[in-house]
Amino acid sequence: MEAAPKEDLSLVAETLAGNQLSFQLLVERYQARMFALVRHYTRNPVEVEDIVQDTFLKAYTRLPGFQQQSSFYTWLCRIAINTALDFLKRCGRNPVRGAEDPELSLGADEGAAGRPRTSPAPAPDARLERAEIARITKRVLDELPEIFRTVLVLREFEEMAYQDIADVLGISIGTVESRLFRARAKFKDKLLALHPEFEEGWS
């Protein structure tokens, strides 16, 4: 019978005791998810690899301070997102677009581009290929302020529970709820702004 895979916390303890292979196993376990997460911040494969590598190197140096209240995975996501954002800032590619404070400007620009806020959100056209839907979705996400993009990525791509999102971002569950609500409204607005052909009644 095959042995059950070791728990993250065992591998963390073994890494701290000096076992390089245990750390390698942790990296192997989460590398694909970290690559997928970081690809939401840059599409350049060399940059993605650099940021993920940096994420794991930072995780290793900060491992003695790892608080086991959150899971190793959410802790790692937090480091990865901060590393990606630091990288973009250093490159002058500020991920936050727009001058407004997203937490305060609730609905300030919802319905921008002269669109009534009551326009229904379109479902993807059944004739579109899945790859095309994905391309449009990512293009719209790229246009959102980072604070909204990140919360949507964690929920819709990483499929994280609200509590985990709260842990990653260091915010309350209530803030996760309201931020997701606004992020989806922004996504809908931006989708209709970029693709008015999806709007109901458009001809």
Q: Measured between alpha carbons, how far is 84 from 78 in angstroms, rounded to an integer?
A: 10
Sequential DSSP letters for 1-23: -PPPPPPHHHHHHHHHTT-HHHH
Window contacting other proteins (CB under 8 A); options: 67-75, 92-100, 142-150, 151-159: 151-159
- Rounded to the nearest whole angstrom, what is the least distance from the CB of residue 36 to other proteins in the complex? 6
CB 105 within 8 A of CB 183: no
Q: Which residue in 1, 3, 4, 61 binds other proteins (CB under 8 A)?
A: 61
Is residue 38 part of the contact set for other proteins (CB under 8 A)? no
SS3 (DSSP) at 108:
coil
Phi-psi region of 92 (alpha: psi -120 to 50; beta: other; left: phi over 0): left
Give me the residues that bind other proteins (CB under 8 A), please: 20-21, 23-25, 27-28, 31-32, 35-36, 39, 45-47, 49-58, 60-61, 83, 86-87, 90-91, 118, 120-124, 130-131, 133-134, 136-138, 140, 152, 155-157, 159, 161-162, 177-178, 180-181, 184, 187-188, 191
